[in-house]
Structure 1
Amino acid sequence: MGEWKNDLFGCFNDMGLCVITYFAPCLTAGKNAEQVGEDCMLHGFLSALYPIGIFSRANIRGKIRERQGIEGSFGEDCFVHWFCYPCALVQEANELGGKQGMSMVRE
């Protein structure tokens, strides 16, 4: 199994993505979901609902891990999104190609 290419606290490597995620985390969550074949609007909305958002974001993180062959568990994904979800969202976006997933936002 592989590891994350980007550190959890490496969110400042892409300042544009970091700023977008800080002010509109639902946007990054939705775009991450879209990158793994899920509905962008639904997951963006769900991510804003605190207890449901943790579950929703952790579910998408699990799909990203599975797609990229990264070790981990749903419990770890929930923990990361409970305590440091902005950093987790940026890490996931970077893992999925970063700027590609957010191109619509930056136009």
Structure 2
Amino acid sequence: MGLIGFDKNDLFGCFTDFKVCLCVFLVPCYVQGKIAETLGKSCLLHTLCFFVPILDVVDATCIRSDAIGENIIISLLVILLCYPFAICQEARVKGADLMAGDQTAVPMDRA
């Protein structure tokens, strides 16, 4: 997987997946939370981090570093320089299900 390019999981490959691209440009906070959820973290907490600017940069950098597996400094630079493309790439790589509800919810019996 390359960092920059137009392949499926590259940084500018978001244009190959219209659903992810649209979600990131309309509700990036939600997508960031769903990516965190795929890493076993709280979707709500990481969604709310989006609304605190400095905390958002730190949170997005840590999530990207975990999701993509790259150096924290490179993750920080990518987040600072091309945030929407970075979030799209993470969502595609981790397979975040953007149309599903809370994955930790326990279904209720209809008995």
| TM-score bucket of the superposed structures, by smaller chain | 0.7 to 0.9
Counterpart for residue 54 of structure 2: 51
Matched, 1:64 2:49: no
Please list the CA deviations of residues 37-91 of structure 1 after superposition, one character each: whole Å capped at 9, or x if unmatched: 111011011123222111101101111134xxxxx31111111111111110110
Matched, 1:97 2:95: yes
- Structure 1 spans left out of the alignment, 5+ residues: 67-71
Aligned-partner residue type, residue 48 of structure 2? F
**Bigger fraction of residues in helix:** 1
Question: Structure 2 length normalisation: TM-score?
Answer: 0.78
Counterpart for residue 109 of structure 2: none
Aligned-partner residue type, residue 59 of structure 2? S
Bigger Rg, which one: 2
For 1:49 and 1:22, the matched residues in 2 are separated by: 18
The list of structure 1 runs, each at least 4 consecutive aligned residues, that deviate by more than 2 angstroms after superposition, is: 2-5
How many residue pairs get aligned? The number is: 97
How far residue 18 of structure 1 moved from its aligned partner, in angstroms, is 0.6
Question: Between the two proteins, what is the percent identity of the paired residues?
Answer: 32
Question: Structure 1 length normalisation: TM-score?
Answer: 0.81
